[in-house]
Amino acid sequence: MNSSQRTSIRKHLEEKLAELIQRTQARDTAVESCADDNEYASRISEQKINLALHVREAELITALEETLGRVDHWDFGICEDCGKEIAIARIKANPTTRFCVSCQSRMEEDQLGRVG
């Protein structure tokens, strides 16, 4: 991976991180007073969805921050399982990835084999 690719990925990560932080801070998780029980139930359901989204986004923020810390290291873009270079298209699609397509597929198949 060359310097301009790393710069491009870093910029993409920083933009995505800023967007997620802004969206997470703007998310309303409060339940205000309600006119009746139906509206209250509806607001509680909304709150549960918002909280689940908040948790998911917080996990993604952590992953993006960790990835930003790794972008400039020599091993960024190297599969943690087989040690081969991860395709730049895969990194652009999923910058937080740590595995090449082959290793990721194999791991997912192994997990499905254990479940089913």
9-60: pLDDT as tens digits: 999 999 999 999 998 888 766 667 777 888 888 888 888 888 899 899 999 9
In terms of residues, how long is the chain? Answer: 116
Query: Where do the structural domains in the chain lie, given as residue ranges?
Result: 1-74, 77-116
Report d(CA 6, CA 91) in Å as an integer: 10
DSSP secondary-structure letter at 78? Answer: B
Report d(CA 40, CA 26) in Å as an integer: 21
User: Rounded to two decimals, what is the model's pTM?
Assistant: 0.74
H or E element, residue 3: helix 3-26
